[in-house]
Copies of this chain bind each other. A is one copy, B any other.
Amino acid sequence: MSPTPVEPMFFIGVDIGRTIRAALVDESGRIWMQSRVLAERRDPRAFLAQVIAVLSALRDSEIARGRVVAVGIGWPGLVNRQAPRLELASHLVDVTGCDVYGEISEALKLPLVFENEANAAAYGEWTCGAARGLRDVFYVTIGTGIGAALILGGRLQRGAHGFAGEFGHVKVEPRGIECGCGGRGCLETVASGPNIVRRVRERLFSDPAFSLSPLAAQMEGTLTVPLIVQAAFDGDELARVVLRETGRYFGVAIANVLNLLDVEMVCLGGPVMLAGEILLDAVRKAARKYTLRAIFEGCRFTISALGQDAGIIGAALLARDAVATMAFE
């Protein structure tokens, strides 16, 4: 990929998860160069050094040629835009003792925008993906955790303190298991990636009918969502049952959101959406059952168009739009 005659301006978009993924993105949302590194999970200082190294390398790259304007970081956890206070999701390193914002911006000497990762991915889908041009969108990301973002009235809605979209902690099982948040029966406790795996394991233990599932062979090894999804594609009943149930949980929870928000589109993204139509169908069916008809009929259900790049592209374009409006924190 060589630069076009009119040289583009670049933004760096970052998606922080178990892998730190970053890219040089141009003004139209096109990715020119990507890099990734497995996130350090014990030492917060080493983690910060990683982030800074990845970003510096992109900024100083041949392709960027000094034309990086700003950096957008999709952050997996609460982003308090007023403090600004950052907390990482519990499956990552604890950075509450570090001045994340100060250190990264000091090292890079570039304007910096932090955004909750689900908001960043939704922004990507909205500006150049499945939800382009719409005004009212509910975006859900399903992975290790469950996040969500709201575009309402043509604006990304972050809530009063930037905490909006904590959809993973919607209660779906009144007598369900305990969640890391201190609550019980949260959507995340049944429908996140690790909990889909847990439910498959439980079925394998408790239901002899499933002993012939190819997934039974994985019991001692590493059972993962991609393996479960592959088994479902291959027609395995256990995998299909658990994914359909998962879709039902989402559908019920999404129906409540639809009744409340009357959006035009529900867009589902994140790694678990590898499952594609199997999951989407089950979500749609359950949502239809619990949503007022006029609202359901006005809403499309779709899978993320940008896939795992949604967060990177969205973060970069949030940085682009913050530059345009001078709205840095």
Most B CB atoms within 10 A — which of A80, A152, A299? A152
User: Interface stretch among A39-47, A204-212, A231-239, A289-297?
Assistant: A289-297
**Residue interface mask A248-268, B partner, CB < 8 A = 1:** 000010011101111110000
CB contact list, A122-162 vs B, under 8 A: 135-136, 148, 150, 152-153, 155, 157-162
Contact size class for A?
Answer: 35 or more
Of B162, B165, B292, which contacts A169 at CB under 8 A?
Answer: B292
Of B135, B170, B262, which contacts A256 at CB under 8 A?
Answer: B170
| A163-B295 contact given A157-B152, A169-B259, CB 8 Å threshold | yes
When the two chains form their complex, are residues A166 and B295 in contact, meaning their CB atoms are under 8 A apart?
yes
CA of A166 to CA of B259 in the docked complex: distance in angstroms?
Answer: 5
A106 to chain B, nearest CB (A): 27
Please tell me if A75 contacts chain B, counting CB pairs below 8 Å.
no
**What residues of B have a CB within 8 angstroms of the CB of A295 in the complex?**
159, 161, 163, 166
A125 to chain B, nearest CB (A): 16
**What residues of B have a CB within 8 angstroms of the CB of A169 in the complex?**
259, 292
A26 to chain B, nearest CB (A): 28
Please tell me if A183 contacts chain B, counting CB pairs below 8 Å.
yes
CA of A164 to CA of B299 in the docked complex: distance in angstroms?
Answer: 12
A226 to chain B, nearest CB (A): 29
When the two chains form their complex, are residues B292 and A262 in contact, meaning their CB atoms are under 8 A apart?
no
Please tell me if A167 contacts chain B, counting CB pairs below 8 Å.
yes
**What residues of B have a CB within 8 angstroms of the CB of A165 in the complex?**
260, 262
When the two chains form their complex, are residues A171 and B256 in contact, meaning their CB atoms are under 8 A apart?
yes
A31 to chain B, nearest CB (A): 29
A-B contact pairs, 7 of them (CB 8 A): A150-B260, A153-B157, A159-B262, A166-B260, A170-B260, A171-B252, A182-B293
Chain A contacts to B: CB under 8 angstroms: 78, 80, 135-136, 148, 150, 152-153, 155, 157-167, 169-171, 174, 181-183, 252, 255-257, 259-264, 289-290, 292-295, 298-299
